[in-house]
Structure 1
Amino acid sequence: MKKRWLTKKWSLLVIRDATQGVKQVDVPMMLLVSVPLLTAVSVSSYIVGLKMNAASQIEGLQHTIHANATASKLEVQASEQTIDELQNEIIRLSSDAQSMKARMEHINTMESTLQSLIQKYAKTDQPKETIVTSLPWDAMEDIGGDYFPVDQDEIMRLAQETTQEYDQMEAILDVMRQNVSNTVQHVKDVFQNTPTGWPTSSRRLTSSFGYRRDPMTRRAAFHAGVDIAGSVGDPVFAAADGKVITTGSDGSRGKYIVIEHSKGYQTWYMHLHRIDVREDERIVKGERIGRLGNTGRSTGPHLHFQIVKEDQPIDPLPFIMPTEEE
C-alpha cells in the first residue's frame, strides 16, 4: 500500500482554448507533496535564520549599550570622585588659610609691638625700602599673554601642590612666630631693665653731663649727670625695673635714691623733696619713687639724674631722650 502511494500519479488536464485539444500531464504524487514541503522548510529556515541574525545583532547592541553605559557610569563616578577630592582639598585649604591668617595676625601683632618699641627707644635715619608684592590671581587690569587652559588633572595637581606649600608655610610661620616672640620678649626685657625711661614729668634740661662751670664756685667741674628743672612736688619715676639699694640724705645730694638694674646699671635720683620707696624694694619701670625738690647742694627745684655703668658715671641722654609720643 505504501509503495502504491509513492508510485501513484495525478493526471492534470490542461485546456488552453476551444480550438486546441486537451493535454494531459501525469504528475507523481511524491512531487506534488515534496515541492510544497520543501518550500515550507526553506521559508521556515530563512525565517529562523533571520531571527537568529536579529537576535545576534540585538545581543551585540545590548553588549555595546551595556559597555557604553558602564563606561559612562565609570566616567561619572570618576568625575564625582574628582569633585569630592577637589571639595575636600578646598575645604582643607580654607581651614589652613584660616589657621595661617590667625598666625599671621599674631606675628603682625608681635611685629607691631617690636616696631613700637624700636620707634620709642631707638633712632634710625634709614630710608624705607620700596617693596614689590605679588598681585592676586584674578587681577585683570593691563594684562595679556598666551592662553593655556587648565584641565581637571592639573587642577588636582595644583591643589595638592598648594596643600604642600601651605604645610611648608605653616612650618616657616611656626619658626617665625617663635623667633619674633623671642625677639619681642628679649626687646621688652632689655628696654624694661635698661634705664631708658624719662625720670620726671618736666622736660626742661638745665645742665648736661660732663664738664661745666660749677653753679656754686663758678669754676670748671665735672657734672656726673643731667639736671632737669621742675616744680617742687613733681613726680619722679624709675627709669627701669630694678631694686632700691640706697635711700638717704646728705648736704650735697640732699634726699636721694639709688636703684640697681641688670647688666651693671644703676640710676641715681638727687635733691628730692620726698622719698616714696624703701631699701630692698623691687621697682617697676615708670613707677613713682619720690617727689622733685630743692634739697642739698642746689640752686633751685630740679632733679639731678645720673646713670652709673659698672661704677662709672655715663651720659644719661643717649638712654633717656624723650620720644615724640612723650
Structure 2
Amino acid sequence: MSNIAGRSRLLKRERKPKWSFVVLRGADKTVKQFHVSKRSVFAAPTAALLAVTGCFGGLHLKSTYELHQLEEQLTRQDAQFTQTVAAKNEAILSLQEEIIELIEQAADVEQRVNDLQQLEQKLQQFIESYGSRIAPSAYQIEGQKKEPSLPALPNIAPIPSFLTAAKIDSKQYAQMAQKTNLSLASLQRMIRTMEESMTVTLELAKATRSSVDGYPSFWPTRSRMLTSGFGYRSDPFTGRSTFHAGIDITGKLNDPVFSAADGLVAETGYNRSHGNYIIIDHPNDLQSAYMHLSQIEAIEGDTVVRGEKLGLLGSSGRSTGPHLHFQIMQKNEPTQPLKFLALIKED
C-alpha cells in the first residue's frame, strides 16, 4: 500500500512540471538554481498586466476627474468673460452716445459763440461809428484809455457731422472724439478770449451808448422844416442883422416837443423873449434849450431820456407863429444844432 501511495505522489509531481533557472555568478562562486512551476511562469505576466491595467485605470479616473474640474472652471471663466464683455459693450455704447451728445453740444456752443462774436462785431461797429465822433471821454474806462479795436478771436475747429450709430465704427468714434476735444479746446480758448474782449467791448459800448443817449442828436419835433438857421440873419421884427443862437423849426400848434438827449431838467420858465422855455443839462458840458412852447410838461430837477416828451410846440414870447426855437450850448456858448442832429441816424 505504501508503494502504491508513493507512486501516486510521484505521478502527481510528474504532472506538475517545473521550470529551472540557473544563476551563474562567477567561476569561483557556487551555482544557484531555481525551480518555478509552469503555472507561476504564466501567472506572473498576467498579474503584471492586471497591475498595469489597474494603474492605467486609476490614472484615467484621475484624469477624468481633473478634466471635469477644468471644464467647470472654464465654464465659470467663460460666464465671467461673457459678463465682462457685455458690461464693456454696454460701457462702449454709452460712451458712443455721450460722444454724439458731446458733439451736438459742442455744435450748439459753437453756434452761440458765433452769435456772441457777431454781437461783439456789431458793438465794435457801433463804437467805431459813433464813439470817436462823440467824445474822447467815452473811451475812458477806469482811468485808462481803451481803443475800440479788440484782439482777434481764434477760429473754431470744424465740428464733425452727426452720423447714426449703426454706421460708425470704433475708429470713427475715436476720430470724432479727437476732433470734438480739439473743437472744445478751441471753444474754451475762444470763450476765455471773448470774456476779456467782451468785457472791454461792453464797457466801451455802455460808455458810447451813454454818450450817444446824452448827446442832443434826437430831432425835437415831428416836423423837420426849418424857417431860420443858425448864425447871423435879418431880424423878423427889426430887419437888422442879428445873431440867431439856434434854429427855428416850424410845426403845428401843440405838436409834441421831445428831449434831444438824456439829461437833467435844469430850468423851466417864461420870459418875454423866449416865451415858455425849458433848458436841459447833458454830459460833456452840453445844454439844449426849447423855446416858444405853448405848454411846459417837464418838471425842473427831473431827469429825462432821449425822445421823452417835454411840452407842446407854440408861439409864446417874441414869435411870429407856431415854431420851436431849438438851441444847443457847449460850455455856455451857442453852437450849430444841426451838426448834432445829423450825428446819429434815427433808424
Normalising by structure 1, what TM-score? 0.66
Q: Does 1:39 align with 2:49?
A: yes
Report the RMSD for the aligned CA atoms in angstroms: 4.8
Shift of 1:177: 5.2
2:130–2:208 contact (8 Å) kept in structure 1: no
Return closer, same or farther for 1:120/1:204 CA change in 2, 3 Å cut-off.
farther
3-state SS of 1:150 partner: helix
Q: Does 1:309 align with 2:330?
A: yes
**Residue type of the partner of 1:187?**
T
Return closer, same or farther for 1:136/1:162 CA change in 2, 3 Å cut-off.
closer
Return closer, same or farther for 1:263/1:106 CA change in 2, 3 Å cut-off.
same
Find the counterpart in structure 1 of residue 38 from structure 2. 28
Q: Does 1:194 align with 2:215?
A: yes
Find the counterpart in structure 2 of residue 251 from structure 1. 272
Q: Which runs of structure 2 are paired with 1:171-190 in the superposition (5 Å)?
A: 171-175=192-196, 178-190=199-211
3-state SS of 1:32 partner: helix
3-state SS of 1:313 partner: strand
Single out whichever of 197-206 and 213-222 deviates more from structure 2.
Answer: 213-222
> Which structure has the larger Rg?
2
1:213–1:219 contact (8 Å) kept in structure 2: yes
Shift of 1:62: 7.2
Q: Which runs of structure 2 are paired with 1:269-280 in the superposition (5 Å)?
A: 269-280=290-301
Find the counterpart in structure 2 of residue 138 from structure 1. 161
Find the counterpart in structure 2 of residue 260 from structure 1. 281
Shift of 1:34: 1.7
- Give structure 1 stretches of 5+ with no counterpart: 11-25, 124-131, 141-147
Single out whichever of 171-180 and 205-214 deviates more from structure 2.
Answer: 171-180
Find the counterpart in structure 1 of residue 249 from structure 2. 228
1:215 to 228, 231, 236: 236
- Give structure 2 stretches of 5+ with no counterpart: 1-11, 19-35, 134-154, 164-168
Shift of 1:95: 6.4
**Residue type of the partner of 2:281?**
E
Shift of 1:210: 2.9
Shift of 1:315: 1.6
Q: Deviations over 1:215-250 (max 9, x none)?
A: 344454432211110122112122122222233333
**Residue type of the partner of 2:285?**
G
Instruction: State the distance in 2 between where 1:79 and 1:183 align.
Output: 54
Instruction: State the distance in 2 between where 1:151 and 1:61 align.
Output: 39
**Residue type of the partner of 2:215?**
T
Amino-acid identity (%): 27
**Residue type of the partner of 1:35?**
P
Q: Which runs of structure 2 are paired with 1:1-326 in the superposition (5 Å)?
A: 8-9=16-17, 28-48=38-58, 74-88=84-98, 137-138=160-161, 150-175=171-196, 178-321=199-342
3-state SS of 1:37 partner: helix
Return closer, same or farther for 1:217/1:8 CA change in 2, 3 Å cut-off.
farther
Return closer, same or farther for 1:247/1:116 CA change in 2, 3 Å cut-off.
same
2:211–2:283 contact (8 Å) kept in structure 1: no
3-state SS of 1:185 partner: helix
Instruction: State the distance in 2 between where 1:159 and 1:70 align.
Output: 35
**Residue type of the partner of 2:269?**
G
**Residue type of the partner of 2:332?**
D
Q: Deviations over 1:129-162 (max 9, x none)?
A: xxx999764399xxxxxxx983554444445444
Shift of 1:172: 4.2
Shift of 1:268: 1.0
Return closer, same or farther for 1:231/1:159 CA change in 2, 3 Å cut-off.
closer
Instruction: State the distance in 2 between where 1:324 and 1:262 align.
Output: 20
Instruction: State the distance in 2 between where 1:288 and 1:152 align.
Output: 64
Instruction: State the distance in 2 between where 1:291 and 1:70 align.
Output: 91
Instruction: State the distance in 1 between where 2:185 and 2:120 align.
Output: 26
2:252–2:322 contact (8 Å) kept in structure 1: yes
Instruction: State the distance in 2 between where 1:184 and 1:215 align.
Output: 45
Return closer, same or farther for 1:118/1:292 CA change in 2, 3 Å cut-off.
farther
Return closer, same or farther for 1:137/1:90 CA change in 2, 3 Å cut-off.
closer
Instruction: State the distance in 2 between where 1:110 and 1:151 align.
Output: 36
1:201–1:234 contact (8 Å) kept in structure 2: yes
